[in-house]
Structure 1
Amino acid sequence: MIETSLKNSILSITLNRPEKYNSFTEPMALELQEALKDAGRDEVRCVVLRANGKAFCAGQDLPEVVERAEKEPDYELADTVQTTYNPIIRAIRSLEKPVVCAVQGTAAGAGANIAFACDIVIASDQAEFVQAFSKIGLIPDSGGTFFLPRLAGLARSNAMYLLDEKLSARKAVDWGLIYKAVDSEELDDEVRDIAQKLASMPTKGFGLYKRAVNRSFDHTLEQQLNLEADLQSEAGKTDDYKEGVAAFLEKRKPEYKGR
């Protein structure tokens, strides 16, 4: 259900349940969690999350939770949220390497919110984003109530959830939810070029940047300024920083090693 491959320091993680629009079962989610954990290896300098088939991800496989509720009297939806989706979002945000998401088709529910949690999202102009929770009486999970208001603003976040409207990739760019929308035939090339660029850049600095951004959500300005100073000191001790400065002074292209 999850395929992985490592090439040129880029770990590709592919959702591979196309016959079910890549909707998540618990085993599939656990496989994705393991793949994201594996991305912590030194050999990996960039992660690409993508999917096979027409849809990127339709969110939760509803028959699974219905069947589980019938079999387990004490089962609650919180059990699925805590074991399936929350670890995925935490892994994406805590991974101190860039995570690029390639959305080739519909991203619905948790599928949309997993995409929004990634660092850079590139979508085909055929892709659509929809929250899909309100029509079955649920709230957005997988960080939806966290990322949507921060990325798109409260008014747009409210409308996207309450009205359950599909959002085109182009409009998702306009709303600040994703980075770029490209023609469908250009998606793979665009994602490859961005991933290759990221994998050749100063990985440790990217990781410290993500750490700073994550903390900014609950920091005061004073706290964030102090954190920036601390992390800048840490960045200044990396081999990548030394190489970047040396390359600048020697007027040559830097060769970063991600250390």
Structure 2
Amino acid sequence: MGAEPVLLVERARGLARVTLNRAAHGNALDTALKDALVAELTAIAADDGVRAVLLSGAGPVFCVGQDLGELAGTLRDAPERASETVELHFSPITRLLATMPKPVVAAVHGTCVGAGLGFALACDLQVWGSGVTLGTAFSKVGLTCDSGVSLTLPALVGPARARELLLLARSFTPDEAVGWGFAGPVVPQEEVTAVALALAEQLATGPTLAYASTKRLLGLASAGLPLDDVLAAEGVEQARCGRSADHAHAVESFLAKREPVFSGR
């Protein structure tokens, strides 16, 4: 009997469920898990049959971030390679979650720190477990930000609060964070997966092309482009959506006073 896979991926009815599966290690990100995430998210991003993604963790923890045990071995044996994982893993994973042309929902039912928090914030939507521990943790081990946290965290909580959370590595909860600007429902921990799954299933039946356009436009807007450039990009994306079968069908459905059934095309 072989070892259990470190990453579980299930595709059904337009939804890909991606589950970090190192529960005994807090879903710590070792090389095997990071390699699997890069490969599977790349495949999912290119799979037109997948219209939404749910990211979750097995066991009681979402993700404790980098596997420090494995990192310690690298620092002893090949310290010059210790930071390679940012370029090889953390940045590609974050980019895939944030930019793939379909919505991604994070089900954060348990502790979520370091790169785990970065991955959750890179998702389009999050469902948070009440009272779970969140944190940046980077400075506790003498490191700075990765996984997009230097961008996503200030955008949500403001630069002053982000400095506090990053420099002091203070733990916090979703209950606190929604008051600072985090979005998404905060529900009892045992309800997170069900709520997130229902949300992801809803998105998997929605106008996929319009979702992809919205993600691209939000990415451009966050880059601080001038208004004229944003308006031009909106025109391009709106024209693309306007040629879709989903748009024509939705307009006809509205006029006929019936609910549209989106095909993702």
Question: Which of 245, 256, 259 is residue 253 of structure 1 equivalent to?
Answer: 259
Q: How many residues align?
A: 258
Question: Any idea what the Cα deviations from partners look like across 1:162-198, whole Å, max 9, x if unmatched?
Answer: 1211111112222223412101232222112211211
C-alpha displacement of 1:84: 1.6
Are positions 1:7 and 2:32 aligned together? no
- After superposition, where does 1:106-125 map in structure 2 within 5 Å? 106-125=111-130
- After superposition, where does 1:86-97 map in structure 2 within 5 Å? 86-97=91-102
C-alpha displacement of 1:76: 4.1
Compute the TM-score of the two structures, normalised by the length of structure 2: 0.94
Are positions 1:141 and 2:150 aligned together? no
Question: Which of 165, 168, 178 is residue 170 of structure 2 equivalent to?
Answer: 165
Question: Any idea what the Cα deviations from partners look like across 1:238-257, whole Å, max 9, x if unmatched?
Answer: 11111111101111110100
Question: Which of 168, 179, 201 is residue 184 of structure 2 equivalent to?
Answer: 179
What corresponds to 1:237 in structure 2?
243
Contact persistence 2:174–2:182 (CA under 8 A): no
**CA distance in 2 between partners of 1:174 and 1:38 (Å):** 36
Are positions 1:189 and 2:194 aligned together? yes
Please list every run of 5 or more consecutive structure 1 residues that lacks an aligned counterpart in the other structure: none
Question: Which of 98, 122, 128 is residue 133 of structure 2 equivalent to?
Answer: 128
What corresponds to 2:62 in structure 1?
56
| Residue type of the alignment partner of 2:12 | K
C-alpha displacement of 1:28: 0.6
Q: Which runs of 4+ in 1 moved over 6 A?
A: none
Other structure's SS at 1:81 match: helix
Contact persistence 2:27–2:62 (CA under 8 A): yes
Other structure's SS at 1:247 match: helix
Change (3 A) 1:155 1:73: closer
Question: Which of 49, 68, 75 is residue 43 of structure 1 equivalent to?
Answer: 49
Report the RMSD for the aligned CA atoms in angstroms. Answer: 1.2
Identity of aligned residues (%): 33
Contact persistence 1:116–1:177 (CA under 8 A): no
Other structure's SS at 2:94 match: helix
Contact persistence 2:109–2:190 (CA under 8 A): no
Contact persistence 1:124–1:187 (CA under 8 A): yes
Question: Which of 207, 214, 219 is residue 212 of structure 2 equivalent to?
Answer: 207
| Residue type of the alignment partner of 1:231 | E
Moved more, 162-171 or 237-246: 162-171
| Residue type of the alignment partner of 2:41 | L
**CA distance in 2 between partners of 1:191 and 1:69 (Å):** 38
Other structure's SS at 1:210 match: helix
| Residue type of the alignment partner of 1:179 | G
Contact persistence 1:104–1:126 (CA under 8 A): no
